[in-house]
Protein backbone atom coordinates (compact mmCIF):
# COMPACT_ATOMS: atom_id res chain seq x y z
CA UNK A 1 0.00 0.00 0.00
CA UNK A 2 1.47 3.35 -1.02
CA UNK A 3 1.64 6.42 1.19
CA UNK A 4 -1.31 8.21 -0.46
CA UNK A 5 -3.60 5.23 0.17
CA UNK A 6 -2.51 5.05 3.81
CA UNK A 7 -3.08 8.77 4.20
CA UNK A 8 -6.57 8.51 2.75
CA UNK A 9 -7.52 5.72 5.16
CA UNK A 10 -5.89 7.09 8.32
CA UNK A 11 -6.87 10.75 7.84
CA UNK A 12 -10.50 9.67 7.35
CA UNK A 13 -10.35 7.39 10.40
CA UNK A 14 -9.17 10.32 12.56
CA UNK A 15 -12.17 12.55 11.80
CA UNK A 16 -14.21 11.16 14.72
CA UNK A 17 -11.77 12.55 17.26
CA UNK A 18 -12.76 16.18 17.91
CA UNK A 19 -10.36 17.06 20.73
CA UNK A 20 -7.72 18.67 18.56
CA UNK A 21 -7.51 22.42 19.21
CA UNK A 22 -4.28 23.82 20.58
CA UNK A 23 -5.60 26.40 23.05
CA UNK A 24 -2.51 28.34 23.85
CA UNK A 25 0.62 26.28 23.38
CA UNK A 26 3.80 28.23 22.59
CA UNK A 27 7.18 26.82 21.59
CA UNK A 28 10.05 29.00 20.32
CA UNK A 29 12.04 28.11 17.24
CA UNK A 30 15.59 27.07 18.15
CA UNK A 31 17.22 27.23 14.71
CA UNK A 32 14.82 24.64 13.37
CA UNK A 33 11.56 24.48 11.44
CA UNK A 34 8.30 26.07 12.61
CA UNK A 35 6.88 27.78 15.63
CA UNK A 36 3.95 26.86 17.84
CA UNK A 37 1.84 29.93 18.51
CA UNK A 38 -1.25 30.32 20.66
CA UNK A 39 -3.42 30.02 17.56
CA UNK A 40 -2.31 26.39 17.22
CA UNK A 41 -3.11 24.00 14.41
CA UNK A 42 -6.89 24.31 14.26
CA UNK A 43 -7.39 27.30 12.03
CA UNK A 44 -10.32 26.07 9.94
CA UNK A 45 -13.95 25.65 11.02
CA UNK A 46 -16.36 23.25 9.36
CA UNK A 47 -19.91 24.50 8.82
CA UNK A 48 -21.18 22.28 11.64
CA UNK A 49 -19.01 24.23 14.12
CA UNK A 50 -16.14 21.77 14.42
CA UNK A 51 -12.56 23.00 14.31
CA UNK A 52 -10.73 21.08 11.60
CA UNK A 53 -7.01 20.41 11.19
CA UNK A 54 -5.59 19.51 7.82
CA UNK A 55 -3.05 17.03 9.19
CA UNK A 56 -5.03 15.05 11.72
CA UNK A 57 -4.15 11.39 11.36
CA UNK A 58 -4.01 8.04 13.08
CA UNK A 59 -0.72 6.21 13.32
CA UNK A 60 -2.72 3.02 12.79
CA UNK A 61 -6.34 1.84 12.65
CA UNK A 62 -5.40 -1.80 13.31
CA UNK A 63 -6.89 -2.10 16.79
CA UNK A 64 -6.77 -5.00 19.23
CA UNK A 65 -9.87 -3.68 21.05
CA UNK A 66 -13.46 -4.28 20.00
CA UNK A 67 -15.26 -1.18 21.30
CA UNK A 68 -18.82 -1.42 19.99
CA UNK A 69 -19.19 2.27 19.03
CA UNK A 70 -15.87 2.59 17.17
CA UNK A 71 -15.50 2.30 13.41
CA UNK A 72 -12.00 0.86 13.95
CA UNK A 73 -13.14 -1.94 16.27
CA UNK A 74 -11.27 -5.18 15.62
CA UNK A 75 -14.38 -7.02 14.37
CA UNK A 76 -15.35 -4.33 11.85
CA UNK A 77 -14.63 -4.95 8.18
CA UNK A 78 -12.84 -1.75 7.13
CA UNK A 79 -9.61 -1.12 5.21
CA UNK A 80 -6.65 -1.29 7.60
CA UNK A 81 -3.37 0.58 7.44
CA UNK A 82 -0.45 1.66 9.62
CA UNK A 83 2.18 4.33 9.09
CA UNK A 84 5.81 3.81 9.92
CA UNK A 85 7.46 6.48 12.07
CA UNK A 86 9.41 7.75 9.05
CA UNK A 87 6.24 8.10 6.98
CA UNK A 88 4.53 10.28 9.62
CA UNK A 89 7.67 12.43 9.88
CA UNK A 90 7.91 12.77 6.09
CA UNK A 91 4.25 13.81 5.82
CA UNK A 92 4.54 16.32 8.65
CA UNK A 93 7.67 18.00 7.32
CA UNK A 94 6.53 18.06 3.68
CA UNK A 95 3.08 19.43 4.51
CA UNK A 96 4.61 22.04 6.78
CA UNK A 97 7.10 23.20 4.17
CA UNK A 98 4.21 23.57 1.72
CA UNK A 99 2.39 25.70 4.31
CA UNK A 100 -0.51 23.25 4.50
CA UNK A 101 -0.27 22.74 8.26
CA UNK A 102 1.02 24.35 11.42
CA UNK A 103 1.49 21.20 13.43
CA UNK A 104 0.58 17.58 13.99
CA UNK A 105 -2.36 15.91 15.71
CA UNK A 106 -1.48 12.24 16.11
CA UNK A 107 -3.74 9.58 17.55
CA UNK A 108 -3.82 5.82 17.06
CA UNK A 109 -5.72 2.63 17.52
CA UNK A 110 -4.02 0.23 19.92
CA UNK A 111 -1.57 -1.70 17.76
CA UNK A 112 -0.33 -4.96 19.36
CA UNK A 113 -0.45 -3.51 22.88
CA UNK A 114 -0.63 -0.05 24.54
CA UNK A 115 3.09 0.25 25.27
CA UNK A 116 4.09 -0.73 21.73
CA UNK A 117 1.76 1.93 20.30
CA UNK A 118 2.99 4.58 22.72
CA UNK A 119 6.60 3.71 21.92
CA UNK A 120 5.99 4.28 18.19
CA UNK A 121 4.35 7.65 18.88
CA UNK A 122 7.24 8.64 21.15
CA UNK A 123 9.72 7.73 18.41
CA UNK A 124 7.91 10.04 15.98
CA UNK A 125 7.81 13.11 18.24
CA UNK A 126 11.42 12.62 19.39
CA UNK A 127 12.71 12.46 15.82
CA UNK A 128 10.60 15.44 14.76
CA UNK A 129 12.03 17.57 17.57
CA UNK A 130 15.62 16.29 17.78
CA UNK A 131 16.55 15.16 14.27
CA UNK A 132 14.35 17.38 12.08
CA UNK A 133 14.28 20.47 14.28
CA UNK A 134 10.48 20.74 14.12
CA UNK A 135 9.16 23.23 16.68
CA UNK A 136 5.57 23.40 15.50
CA UNK A 137 2.59 22.37 17.59
CA UNK A 138 2.22 18.66 18.42
CA UNK A 139 -0.75 17.04 20.11
CA UNK A 140 -0.75 13.28 20.72
CA UNK A 141 -2.98 10.80 22.47
CA UNK A 142 -1.68 9.11 25.58
CA UNK A 143 -2.57 5.42 25.28
CA UNK A 144 -4.23 4.05 28.46
CA UNK A 145 -2.33 1.05 29.76
CA UNK A 146 1.02 2.15 28.31
CA UNK A 147 4.16 2.21 30.43
CA UNK A 148 4.27 5.36 32.58
CA UNK A 149 7.84 6.11 31.52
CA UNK A 150 6.79 6.33 27.86
CA UNK A 151 4.01 8.79 28.68
CA UNK A 152 6.33 10.89 30.84
CA UNK A 153 9.00 11.04 28.14
CA UNK A 154 6.50 11.85 25.38
CA UNK A 155 5.15 14.71 27.48
CA UNK A 156 8.52 16.49 27.27
CA UNK A 157 8.32 16.67 23.47
CA UNK A 158 4.67 17.55 22.83
CA UNK A 159 2.51 20.58 23.49
CA UNK A 160 -0.65 18.77 24.47
CA UNK A 161 -1.68 15.23 25.41
CA UNK A 162 -5.15 13.84 25.74
CA UNK A 163 -6.76 10.69 27.07
CA UNK A 164 -10.23 10.07 25.69
CA UNK A 165 -12.68 8.72 28.27
CA UNK A 166 -15.26 8.41 25.46
CA UNK A 167 -18.17 7.03 27.51
CA UNK A 168 -19.47 8.98 30.52
CA UNK A 169 -20.51 6.13 32.84
CA UNK A 170 -19.27 2.86 34.28
CA UNK A 171 -22.21 1.01 32.76
CA UNK A 172 -21.50 2.46 29.32
CA UNK A 173 -17.89 1.29 29.49
CA UNK A 174 -18.97 -2.14 30.70
CA UNK A 175 -21.43 -2.61 27.83
CA UNK A 176 -19.67 -0.91 24.92
CA UNK A 177 -15.95 -1.00 25.80
CA UNK A 178 -15.35 -3.86 28.27
CA UNK A 179 -11.62 -3.93 27.44
CA UNK A 180 -11.25 -0.35 28.74
CA UNK A 181 -11.83 -0.32 32.50
CA UNK A 182 -12.44 3.07 34.06
CA UNK A 183 -9.31 2.94 36.19
CA UNK A 184 -7.13 2.35 33.12
CA UNK A 185 -8.55 5.53 31.54
CA UNK A 186 -8.20 7.72 34.61
CA UNK A 187 -4.72 6.58 35.60
CA UNK A 188 -2.80 8.33 32.75
CA UNK A 189 -4.91 11.47 33.25
CA UNK A 190 -3.90 11.52 36.90
CA UNK A 191 -0.27 10.88 35.94
CA UNK A 192 -0.19 13.71 33.37
CA UNK A 193 -1.90 16.12 35.78
CA UNK A 194 0.62 15.42 38.55
CA UNK A 195 3.56 15.68 36.16
CA UNK A 196 2.36 19.07 34.87
CA UNK A 197 2.16 20.40 38.44
CA UNK A 198 5.58 18.96 39.30
CA UNK A 199 7.14 20.44 36.15
CA UNK A 200 5.71 23.91 36.82
CA UNK A 201 7.03 23.83 40.38
CA UNK A 202 10.50 22.78 39.20
CA UNK A 203 10.57 25.57 36.62
CA UNK A 204 9.51 28.06 39.28
CA UNK A 205 12.33 26.96 41.58
CA UNK A 206 15.13 26.47 39.05
CA UNK A 207 13.98 28.95 36.34
CA UNK A 208 15.10 26.65 33.52
CA UNK A 209 14.19 23.34 31.98
CA UNK A 210 11.86 21.99 29.33
CA UNK A 211 8.12 22.16 29.79
CA UNK A 212 5.94 19.10 30.25
CA UNK A 213 2.76 19.26 28.12
CA UNK A 214 2.71 23.09 28.24
CA UNK A 215 -0.72 23.36 26.58
CA UNK A 216 -2.25 20.97 29.11
CA UNK A 217 -4.39 17.90 28.65
CA UNK A 218 -7.88 17.33 27.30
CA UNK A 219 -10.39 14.52 26.84
CA UNK A 220 -13.41 13.62 24.73
CA UNK A 221 -16.86 12.32 25.66
CA UNK A 222 -19.25 10.71 23.19
CA UNK A 223 -22.82 11.99 23.45
CA UNK A 224 -25.73 9.73 22.56
CA UNK A 225 -24.13 6.27 22.42
CA UNK A 226 -25.45 5.46 25.92
CA UNK A 227 -28.63 6.50 27.78
CA UNK A 228 -26.69 8.84 30.09
CA UNK A 229 -28.43 12.11 30.81
CA UNK A 230 -26.91 15.54 30.20
CA UNK A 231 -26.64 16.07 33.97
CA UNK A 232 -24.43 13.00 34.33
CA UNK A 233 -22.16 14.10 31.47
CA UNK A 234 -21.87 17.65 32.79
CA UNK A 235 -21.12 16.53 36.34
CA UNK A 236 -18.38 14.27 35.02
CA UNK A 237 -16.87 17.22 33.12
CA UNK A 238 -17.07 19.36 36.24
CA UNK A 239 -15.25 16.66 38.22
CA UNK A 240 -12.56 16.29 35.53
CA UNK A 241 -11.91 20.04 35.46
CA UNK A 242 -11.72 20.15 39.24
CA UNK A 243 -9.56 17.09 39.82
CA UNK A 244 -7.28 16.96 36.78
CA UNK A 245 -7.18 20.64 35.82
CA UNK A 246 -8.09 19.81 32.22
CA UNK A 247 -7.86 22.52 29.59
CA UNK A 248 -10.86 21.25 27.68
CA UNK A 249 -13.48 18.55 27.65
CA UNK A 250 -14.69 17.94 24.10
CA UNK A 251 -18.10 16.51 23.28
CA UNK A 252 -18.69 14.42 20.18
CA UNK A 253 -22.20 13.60 18.96
CA UNK A 254 -22.37 9.86 18.37
CA UNK A 255 -22.24 9.11 14.64
CA UNK A 256 -23.74 5.67 13.90
CA UNK A 257 -21.09 4.03 11.71
CA UNK A 258 -21.79 0.43 12.76
CA UNK A 259 -24.97 -1.50 13.50
CA UNK A 260 -25.23 -3.30 16.81
CA UNK A 261 -28.14 -3.95 19.19
CA UNK A 262 -26.08 -2.43 22.00
CA UNK A 263 -26.11 0.92 20.19
CA UNK A 264 -29.06 3.30 19.78
CA UNK A 265 -30.78 3.31 16.38
CA UNK A 266 -30.21 6.95 15.46
CA UNK A 267 -31.52 8.77 12.41
CA UNK A 268 -29.16 11.70 12.96
CA UNK A 269 -26.24 12.50 15.28
CA UNK A 270 -27.46 14.38 18.40
CA UNK A 271 -25.75 17.62 17.39
CA UNK A 272 -28.09 19.80 19.42
CA UNK A 273 -27.16 17.90 22.60
CA UNK A 274 -23.50 18.33 21.73
CA UNK A 275 -24.04 22.06 21.21
CA UNK A 276 -25.89 22.46 24.51
CA UNK A 277 -23.12 20.64 26.37
CA UNK A 278 -20.50 22.96 24.87
CA UNK A 279 -22.58 25.96 25.94
CA UNK A 280 -22.92 24.58 29.48
CA UNK A 281 -19.22 23.70 29.57
CA UNK A 282 -18.44 27.34 28.79
CA UNK A 283 -20.68 28.42 31.67
CA UNK A 284 -18.79 26.11 34.04
CA UNK A 285 -15.39 27.39 32.96
CA UNK A 286 -15.94 31.14 32.57
CA UNK A 287 -19.28 32.16 34.10
CA UNK A 288 -19.14 30.66 37.58
CA UNK A 289 -22.00 28.19 37.14
CA UNK A 290 -22.12 24.72 38.65
CA UNK A 291 -23.64 21.65 37.03
CA UNK A 292 -26.33 21.35 39.70
CA UNK A 293 -27.49 24.90 38.96
CA UNK A 294 -28.02 24.18 35.28
CA UNK A 295 -29.65 20.76 35.61
CA UNK A 296 -31.22 18.62 38.32
CA UNK A 297 -32.47 15.08 38.82
CA UNK A 298 -35.98 16.28 38.02
CA UNK A 299 -34.68 18.11 34.94
CA UNK A 300 -31.66 16.07 33.78
CA UNK A 301 -31.51 17.15 30.12
CA UNK A 302 -31.03 20.53 28.47
CA UNK A 303 -33.92 22.47 27.02
CA UNK A 304 -33.90 22.07 23.21
CA UNK A 305 -35.45 25.54 22.76
CA UNK A 306 -33.30 27.62 25.11
CA UNK A 307 -29.57 27.70 25.72
CA UNK A 308 -28.51 26.66 29.26
CA UNK A 309 -27.97 30.22 30.49
CA UNK A 310 -31.34 31.45 29.26
CA UNK A 311 -33.02 28.35 30.65
CA UNK A 312 -31.44 28.99 34.07
CA UNK A 313 -32.62 32.62 33.96
CA UNK A 314 -36.18 31.53 33.12
CA UNK A 315 -36.18 29.20 36.13
CA UNK A 316 -34.91 32.04 38.35
CA UNK A 317 -37.02 34.99 37.20
CA UNK A 318 -37.53 35.95 40.85
CA UNK A 319 -33.90 37.22 40.85
CA UNK A 320 -34.54 39.68 38.02
CA UNK A 321 -34.50 42.43 36.88
CA UNK A 322 -31.19 43.62 38.31
CA UNK A 323 -29.85 47.19 38.26
CA UNK A 324 -26.93 47.26 35.86
CA UNK A 325 -25.29 50.21 37.64
CA UNK A 326 -24.95 48.38 40.95
CA UNK A 327 -25.09 44.63 40.27
CA UNK A 328 -22.01 42.58 41.12
CA UNK A 329 -19.86 41.20 38.32
CA UNK A 330 -20.81 37.59 39.14
CA UNK A 331 -24.52 38.41 38.79
CA UNK A 332 -24.03 40.33 35.54
CA UNK A 333 -22.45 37.20 34.06
CA UNK A 334 -25.71 35.33 34.66
CA UNK A 335 -27.80 37.69 32.56
CA UNK A 336 -28.63 36.29 29.08
CA UNK A 337 -27.08 38.56 26.47
CA UNK A 338 -24.13 39.61 28.65
CA UNK A 339 -20.82 37.85 28.08
CA UNK A 340 -17.53 37.99 29.94
CA UNK A 341 -16.17 40.93 27.95
CA UNK A 342 -19.43 42.86 28.16
CA UNK A 343 -19.59 42.35 31.93
CA UNK A 344 -16.00 43.55 32.31
CA UNK A 345 -16.75 46.64 30.19
CA UNK A 346 -19.81 47.41 32.32
CA UNK A 347 -17.75 47.28 35.51
CA UNK A 348 -15.12 49.57 33.95
CA UNK A 349 -17.58 52.03 32.38
CA UNK A 350 -19.74 52.58 35.45
CA UNK A 351 -16.73 53.86 37.37
CA UNK A 352 -16.95 56.91 35.12
CA UNK A 353 -20.71 57.44 35.14
CA UNK A 354 -24.11 55.81 35.28
CA UNK A 355 -25.00 53.66 32.29
CA UNK A 356 -28.04 53.82 30.03
CA UNK A 357 -29.42 51.24 27.60
CA UNK A 358 -27.76 53.15 24.75
CA UNK A 359 -24.44 52.73 26.55
CA UNK A 360 -25.07 48.99 26.93
CA UNK A 361 -25.65 48.64 23.18
CA UNK A 362 -22.30 50.27 22.48
CA UNK A 363 -20.63 48.02 25.07
CA UNK A 364 -21.90 44.94 23.22
CA UNK A 365 -24.81 43.78 25.38
CA UNK A 366 -27.49 41.95 23.35
CA UNK A 367 -30.56 43.81 24.59
CA UNK A 368 -32.98 41.56 22.71
CA UNK A 369 -32.03 38.98 25.33
CA UNK A 370 -30.79 41.04 28.26
CA UNK A 371 -33.57 43.65 28.20
CA UNK A 372 -35.95 41.43 30.19
CA UNK A 373 -33.44 41.01 33.02
CA UNK A 374 -32.00 44.52 33.52
CA UNK A 375 -32.87 47.99 34.66
CA UNK A 376 -30.80 51.10 33.98
CA UNK A 377 -31.16 53.84 36.60
CA UNK A 378 -34.40 52.19 37.70
CA UNK A 379 -35.90 52.13 34.19
CA UNK A 380 -36.79 49.00 32.26
CA UNK A 381 -36.04 48.38 28.58
CA UNK A 382 -38.69 49.11 25.95
CA UNK A 383 -39.50 45.43 25.31
CA UNK A 384 -39.41 44.45 29.01
CA UNK A 385 -42.12 42.10 30.23
CA UNK A 386 -42.63 40.24 33.49
CA UNK A 387 -44.80 37.67 31.73
CA UNK A 388 -42.90 34.37 31.66
CA UNK A 389 -44.41 33.21 28.35
CA UNK A 390 -43.53 36.48 26.60
CA UNK A 391 -39.97 36.44 27.93
CA UNK A 392 -39.49 32.84 26.81
CA UNK A 393 -40.84 33.56 23.34
CA UNK A 394 -38.55 36.58 23.07
CA UNK A 395 -35.49 34.52 24.02
CA UNK A 396 -36.38 31.78 21.54
CA UNK A 397 -36.91 34.23 18.69
CA UNK A 398 -33.63 35.99 19.51
CA UNK A 399 -31.85 32.65 19.07
CA UNK A 400 -33.34 31.84 15.70
CA UNK A 401 -30.88 31.93 12.84
CA UNK A 402 -31.64 31.79 9.10
CA UNK A 403 -31.45 28.20 7.91
CA UNK A 404 -28.86 27.37 5.31
CA UNK A 405 -29.97 25.26 2.37
CA UNK A 406 -27.32 22.65 2.86
CA UNK A 407 -25.26 21.51 5.82
CA UNK A 408 -22.27 19.38 4.91
CA UNK A 409 -20.89 17.15 7.62
CA UNK A 410 -17.38 15.88 7.20
CA UNK A 411 -13.68 16.51 7.54
CA UNK A 412 -11.77 18.57 5.01
CA UNK A 413 -9.91 16.37 2.56
CA UNK A 414 -6.28 16.66 1.61
CA UNK A 415 -7.12 15.43 -1.88
CA UNK A 416 -10.41 17.00 -2.98
CA UNK A 417 -13.06 19.52 -1.99
CA UNK A 418 -15.97 18.40 0.14
CA UNK A 419 -18.94 17.86 -2.16
CA UNK A 420 -22.19 19.71 -1.59
CA UNK A 421 -24.50 16.72 -1.43
CA UNK A 422 -25.16 17.65 2.19
CA UNK A 423 -27.65 16.25 4.64
CA UNK A 424 -31.05 17.35 5.77
CA UNK A 425 -30.88 21.04 6.64
CA UNK A 426 -32.20 20.50 10.15
CA UNK A 427 -29.32 18.39 11.44
CA UNK A 428 -29.52 19.50 15.06
CA UNK A 429 -32.21 17.12 16.31
CA UNK A 430 -31.56 13.98 18.33
CA UNK A 431 -33.95 11.43 16.81
CA UNK A 432 -34.27 7.69 17.22
CA UNK A 433 -35.67 5.49 14.45
CA UNK A 434 -39.36 4.77 14.26
CA UNK A 435 -38.77 1.22 15.39
CA UNK A 436 -39.31 1.20 19.19
CA UNK A 437 -38.17 -2.42 19.41
CA UNK A 438 -34.63 -1.47 18.30
CA UNK A 439 -34.26 1.03 21.10
CA UNK A 440 -35.94 -1.16 23.71
CA UNK A 441 -33.29 -3.74 22.89
CA UNK A 442 -30.59 -1.07 23.22
CA UNK A 443 -31.92 0.09 26.59
CA UNK A 444 -32.14 -3.49 27.83
CA UNK A 445 -28.34 -3.49 28.12
CA UNK A 446 -28.74 -0.73 30.72
CA UNK A 447 -31.27 -2.61 32.83
CA UNK A 448 -30.98 -0.39 35.88
CA UNK A 449 -31.32 3.41 36.04
CA UNK A 450 -27.81 4.81 36.05
CA UNK A 451 -26.74 8.00 37.74
CA UNK A 452 -24.18 8.00 34.95
CA UNK A 453 -21.29 9.93 36.41
CA UNK A 454 -17.86 8.84 37.51
CA UNK A 455 -17.96 9.68 41.18
CA UNK A 456 -15.46 12.17 42.57
CA UNK A 457 -14.29 9.52 44.99
CA UNK A 458 -13.53 7.26 42.03
CA UNK A 459 -11.61 9.95 40.18
CA UNK A 460 -9.10 10.35 43.01
CA UNK A 461 -6.61 7.55 42.41
Is the pLDDT higher at 82 or at 411? Answer: 82
The confidence score (pLDDT) of residue 23 equals 42
In the predicted model, what is the mean pLDDT of residues 196-204?
91
Boundary-marking domain end, from 298, 331, 350 = 298
The reply to whether 171 and 283 lie within a common domain is: yes
Q: What is the pLDDT of residues 305-331, one digit of tens each?
A: 999 999 999 999 999 999 999 999 999
**Can you tell me the distance from the alpha carbon of 247 to that of 51, in angstroms, rounded to the nearest whole number?**
16
The confidence score (pLDDT) of residue 212 equals 95
**Can you tell me the distance from the alpha carbon of 16 to that of 312, in angstroms, rounded to the nearest whole number?**
31
Does 443 fall in a domain?
no
The reply to whether 200 and 341 lie within a common domain is: no
Question: What pTM value is reported for the model?
Answer: 0.84
380: pLDDT strictly greater than 90? yes
209: pLDDT strictly greater than 50? yes
Is the pLDDT higher at 147 or at 19? Answer: 147
Please enumerate in sequence order all residues whose Cβ is within 8 A of that of 247, keeping only pairs 6 or more positions apart, or say none.
23, 24, 160, 215, 216, 217, 218
Count of the separate structural domains present in the chain: 3
The reply to whether 64 and 200 lie within a common domain is: no
Q: Please report which confidence band the pLDDT of residue 201 belongs to, taking 50, 70 and 90 as the band edges.
A: very high
State percent of the chain over pLDDT 90.
Answer: 62
Q: Please report which confidence band the pLDDT of residue 44 belongs to, taking 50, 70 and 90 as the band edges.
A: very low
Q: Which of 194-198, 285-289, 402-406, 445-449 has the lowest mean pLDDT?
A: 402-406
Distances (CA, A) of 132 to 150, 155, 163, 209, 293: 21, 18, 27, 21, 50
The reply to whether 195 and 152 lie within a common domain is: no
**Can you tell me the distance from the alpha carbon of 411 to that of 7, in angstroms, rounded to the nearest whole number?**
14
Among 33-42, 155-164, 250-259, the range with the most confident prediction by mean pLDDT is: 155-164
Pairing of strands 379-380, 374-376: antiparallel
The confidence score (pLDDT) of residue 258 equals 80
Does 105 fall in a domain?
yes
379: pLDDT strictly greater than 70? yes
Q: What is the pLDDT of residues 139-172, one digit of tens each?
A: 899 999 999 999 999 999 999 999 999 999 999 9
The reply to whether 153 and 172 lie within a common domain is: no
Pairing of strands 103-107, 137-141: parallel
Is the pLDDT higher at 143 or at 55? Answer: 143
Among 17-31, 254-268, 337-351, the range with the most confident prediction by mean pLDDT is: 337-351
Does 8 fall in a domain?
yes
Boundary-marking domain end, from 125, 158, 191 = 158
The reply to whether 250 and 292 lie within a common domain is: yes
In the predicted model, what is the mean pLDDT of residues 118-128?
97
Do 243 and 217 meet the contact criterion of CB atoms below 8 Å apart? no
The reply to whether 127 and 173 lie within a common domain is: no
The reply to whether 200 and 154 lie within a common domain is: no
What's 33's DSSP letter? B
The reply to whether 392 and 265 lie within a common domain is: no
Tell me the pLDDT of the chain averaged across its residues. 83
Does 426 fall in a domain?
no
352: pLDDT strictly greater than 70? yes
Q: Which of 14-23, 77-86, 287-296, 406-415 has the lowest mean pLDDT?
A: 406-415
**Domain boundaries, position 341:** 308-400
Boundary-marking domain end, from 272, 298, 324 = 298
The confidence score (pLDDT) of residue 166 equals 92
215: pLDDT strictly greater than 90? no
Amino acid sequence: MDLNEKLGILADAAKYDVSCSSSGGTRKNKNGVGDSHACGICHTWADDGRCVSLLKILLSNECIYDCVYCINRSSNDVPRASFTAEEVIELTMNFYRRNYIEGLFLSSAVLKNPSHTMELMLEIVKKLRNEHGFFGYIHIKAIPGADERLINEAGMYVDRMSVNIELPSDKGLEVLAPQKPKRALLKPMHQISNKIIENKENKRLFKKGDSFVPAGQSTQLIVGATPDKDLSILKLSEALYGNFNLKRVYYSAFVPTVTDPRLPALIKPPLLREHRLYQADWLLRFYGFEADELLSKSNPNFNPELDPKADWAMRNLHMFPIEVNSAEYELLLRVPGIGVKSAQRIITARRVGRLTFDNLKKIGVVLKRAGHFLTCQGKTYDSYSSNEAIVKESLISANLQPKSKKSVLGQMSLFSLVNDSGTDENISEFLLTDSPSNNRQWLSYYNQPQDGRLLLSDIHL
